[in-house]
Structure 1
Amino acid sequence: MTGSVPHIMTLDELGPRLCILGPSNSGKSTLAVAIGRARGLPPVHLDQLYHRPNTDWQPRPVEEFVALHDAAIADAGWVMDGNYSRCLPQRLERATGVIMLNVSTPTSLFRYLRRSWFERDRRGGLEGARDSVKWGMIRHITVTTPGNRRRNQETFDRIVLPKIRLETARDLVRFYRSEGLER
């Protein structure tokens, strides 16, 4: 066996329809905006499609969300952030590449608290709503998400599209730098 260096996938190799997956508060929306700006692709934030605007994060009826999701993935190009596994099969059917973020639970919790307390106009935020600290979200980040990591890894491993996995916040910073992306 030779000492070959494994190929590191680049953003250009992922194509014009990108899915960004990962736990809550991992940086998916910020990355979607940065990629969209750099590549001329519209960012689509699934949280905004799933929740009604001008509410305190009230979900839309499922049929309405699925219709909005399916209309968004029909476009020629997009960078879509969010998991929403109910619609993942049709999203992956249209996608040309996937980025998986996997920051630590403490990092996700810190980012959630920071955005809830200090960020007024965050990327991917809900129109007409302001984030606030909610016990349900803290529980989701600290209890549910760690339990989902293995399932998310298995899902990512099954994806046959070009893909990039960024394991840490440091990996994400390196990716921004290597791809010339600006936050």
Structure 2
Amino acid sequence: MNTPVSLEELGPRICIMGPSNSGKSTLADAISRKTALPVVHLDLLHHLPDTNWVPRGHAEFLRLHADAVSQERWVMEGNYTKCATERLARATGLILLDVPVTVGLLRYIRRCYSSTPRIGGLRTGRENVTWEMIKYITLVAPENRLHHKRVYDQVRLPKLLLKSPHDVEACFQRWGLRT
């Protein structure tokens, strides 16, 4: 973990990015409970409610994203790089979860067999393991990780890079967060 940043230093608009199944939703939810910042799960904006990951129309998603970003206070989790520039322009802090691919893959499989609803999920019941998602996590996400790291390096905001589950747990402890 890099130089510790306090939760207060990240300000009232915190952006959390990272690969699928890295813990973005869980961290955003915990920060929201601690700070009373409204949490925005971008997956819920991007996909139609009560569907199995059916995307909204592009214009509708961008409108919902712009509305969410324009608010004065939020903790927003998700990547959706097509609109990250607007999000980061309004953000007061950035957290990048850069956990290894194996962590994301194991969490995905565990999530699909869990009876507990996923934080930030679409509330469609238990998800099934799909080859499409496994390919995404193992083949696409590593390239996205490189892009996210470049974005992180360029952003001039208070920021925190968490590279392992141990780093995330240490952050939870330091900030007094609960899952």
Q: Normalising TM by the smaller chain, what interval?
A: over 0.9
Cα distance in 2 for residues equivalent to 1:80 and 1:120 = 22
Alignment of 1:162-181 (within 5 A): 162-181=158-177
5+ long unaligned stretches in structure 1: 1-5
What is the aligned partner in structure 2 of residue 12 from structure 1? 8
5+ long unaligned stretches in structure 2: none
Structure 1 position 157, deviation (Å): 0.3
| TM-score with structure 2 setting the length | 0.95
Question: Are 1:35 and 1:41, in contact at CA under 8 Å, matched by a contact in 2?
Answer: yes
What is the aligned partner in structure 2 of residue 21 from structure 1? 17
Q: 2:37 aligned with 1:46, yes or no?
A: no
Q: How many residues align?
A: 178
| Structure 1 residue identity aligned to 2:171 | F
Question: Are 1:54 and 1:129, in contact at CA under 8 Å, matched by a contact in 2?
Answer: no
Structure 1 position 127, deviation (Å): 3.1
2:134 to 127, 138, 147: 138
Structure 1 position 130, deviation (Å): 3.4
Q: Percent identity?
A: 47
What is the aligned partner in structure 2 of residue 90 from structure 1? 86
Question: Are 1:43 and 1:78, in contact at CA under 8 Å, matched by a contact in 2?
Answer: yes
Alignment of 1:141-152 (within 5 A): 141-152=137-148
**The 10-residue stretch of structure 1 (168-177 or 115-124) with the greater mean CA deviation from structure 2:** 115-124
Question: Are 2:113 and 2:126, in contact at CA under 8 Å, matched by a contact in 1?
Answer: no
| Superimposed CA distance per residue, residues 101-155 of structure 1 (whole angstroms, 9 cap, x where no aligned partner) | 0111111001001111114311101033532211111001011111232222111
Q: What RMSD in Å do the two structures reach over aligned CA positions?
A: 1.2
2:95 to 95, 99, 102: 99
Closer/same/farther in 2, CA of residues 120 and 8 from structure 1, 3 Å limit: closer
Cα distance in 2 for residues equivalent to 1:73 and 1:96 = 11
Q: 2:32 aligned with 1:36, yes or no?
A: yes
| Structure 1 residue identity aligned to 2:54 | Q
Q: Secondary structure at the match of 1:18?
A: strand
